[in-house]
Amino acid sequence: MKKILTNNMKFGLLTAGIVISTLSSQSIAFAADGPHETLNEEPTEYLSDDKLPPRNKPLLELGPKFLSTGNITPGITIPTGAVWTPSLWVYGTFRSALQYYEDDNDVGASEWANRLDLFANLQLSGTERILLGVTPLHNRDTGLFSGKVFSPSGQKRSISELNFEIDTLFFEGDFAEIFPNLDVFDSSKNDIGISIGRQGVVFSEGFIVNDNMDGFGLSKNNIRFPKNPNIVNWRSSIFVGLNGVHRGDNQLDKDSEFYGWFNQIDTPKTTFNFDAAYVDSNNDDDLLNFSVDATRRLGKTNATFRAAYSKALDSETSKAGTGLLLFTELSWVPKHTHDNLYLNGFVGIDEFTSAARGPLTGGPLGRTGLLFAAQGIGSSPSPLSNSAQEAAGVALGYQKFSKNNRRQWTFEAAGRVENDGALSTQRDEFGLGVRFQQAVGDRALIQIDGFSTKQKGRNVSTGLRCEILLKL
């Protein structure tokens, strides 16, 4: 195992920079606190149904309508005593993107990629539902999307990934609401959430798990301690994934099972998360993960501090590594604006590895900024590596809203330095990125991204992409 501590000067300087930036942002936040603006006490006009904007309907509605008005139907009383009012809503998201990427060897790649996420939601009651989801235009395991590759010329081809594989199919509900006859007066603490089937599992903001897998989960919310009023709410969940587990290298591992315990505790000022996950594999690459984070306001600054640790219980592989990841997110709304200024940073020590990551989610550092995020469509990589192994980095960005919040610009500068030259595949790299988003009507969004990055000792890489997103 590589040493946990390193004397690499660049790594130490950037780590110190993250800490100094964090302290500086806190100081600025506290200094910015002045007299608070008073709320407007004048009543606003009540909007009647005729004055409210029209409701955006899903593709299909059977039974009670989604977010509509009117009388509630009597429903059906099932033998357990629960009253169900079934309704079926079909909805989805369609994305179509033109993407161009030129690597540091001046080799360009361009493509047209399409993605459709389609869902059928059978709503049985306010707490019970069955959700079916398909992705008919791409293969979720190989990452290939229907469309066309334009360049390089040797790879020019049309791609058809038309399929009807089920990507999501699960039932979720609340035990007390499914069996109300067991406690007519609702006096016991049997409000336990249950879910079973193929479902998305995202905890720790995706740092230790962000995957779709087959399994079951239990969740208990609103756990209180009368003698400790500082714990406003404690939610505790467990999940067991028995099939479809993708490991930290984004590859499917048919011989592994996932076990997770996830906790969120709300206090008057801070929200804490304590999470643990274990992957049991038959390939001698078992992995144990822990994560803890705290989110709160520091003056006028939104702040999150996170530490995540992974421990390879057998041999270290691409699926299981031992390492520590420290991560911080800071954001602030400048006065008299609705804009967002953010500063995010990370330090990866040794080879931190997530327990489970879907094939399109990239590495755990996607939350750092635009330049680190996976696109989720097509084959273009993230401009900067989102691997958390042996590296430190920062992202500074400004998100500008205009046109009544229907248009936004985001400008970002980011950098990442390698720790001690431990990984020959990684180099120090820096980049600039910009994103433009414009709402069109009530359902469409146009997004244009551009970036330029530079790795030490290599040529500049550039990329440009244009995407149309439709809410169906």
**Alpha-carbon span 150 to 98, nearest angstrom:** 10
In a domain, 83, yes or no: no
Three-state DSSP class for residue 180: helix
* Over residues 198-221, mean pLDDT: 95
pTM listed for this prediction? 0.85
Spatial contact of 397 and 369, defined as CB atoms under 8 Å apart: yes
Model confidence pLDDT, tens digit, residues 300-331? 899 999 999 999 999 899 899 999 999 999 99
In a domain, 206, yes or no: yes
Percent of the chain with pLDDT over 70: 90
Rg of the chain over CA atoms, in angstroms? 24
Spatial contact of 393 and 368, defined as CB atoms under 8 Å apart: yes
**CA of 78: how far to CAs of 21, 86, 172, 179, 282, in Å?**
58, 12, 17, 10, 43
Question: Predicted confidence band at 4 (pLDDT cuts at 50, 70, 90)?
Answer: very low
The reported pLDDT for the residue numbered 456 is 82
Widest pairwise Cα distance in the chain: 71
Question: Predicted confidence band at 194 (pLDDT cuts at 50, 70, 90)?
Answer: very high
Model confidence pLDDT, tens digit, residues 95-136? 999 999 987 777 889 999 999 999 999 999 999 999 999 999
β-strands 166-174, 157-159 pairing = unpaired
The reported pLDDT for the residue numbered 184 is 82
In a domain, 248, yes or no: yes
Is residue 430's pLDDT more than 80? yes
Q: Which residue has the higher pLDDT, 435 or 421?
A: 435
Average per-residue pLDDT for the chain: 88
Q: Which domain covers residue 245, as residue numbers?
A: 191-330
Q: Which residue has the higher pLDDT, 79 or 189?
A: 79
In a domain, 381, yes or no: no
* Over residues 356-377, mean pLDDT: 94
Q: How many CB atoms lie within 10 A of CB 352?
A: 29
DSSP-assigned letters across all residues of 97-119: EEEEEE-TTS-EEEEEEEEEEEE
In a domain, 367, yes or no: no
Question: Predicted confidence band at 143 (pLDDT cuts at 50, 70, 90)?
Answer: confident
**Alpha-carbon span 357 to 209, nearest angstrom:** 6
How many domains does the chain contain in total? 1
**Alpha-carbon span 332 to 329, nearest angstrom:** 10
User: By CB neighbour count within 10 A (0-12 exposed, 13-18 middle, 19+ buried), where does 79 fall?
Assistant: exposed
* Six token digits for residue 12: 């130490």
β-strands 256-266, 460-471 pairing = unpaired
Spatial contact of 462 and 434, defined as CB atoms under 8 Å apart: no
In a domain, 155, yes or no: no
Model confidence pLDDT, tens digit, residues 146-164? 999 999 888 899 999 999 8
In a domain, 277, yes or no: yes
In a domain, 296, yes or no: yes
Spatial contact of 373 and 366, defined as CB atoms under 8 Å apart: yes
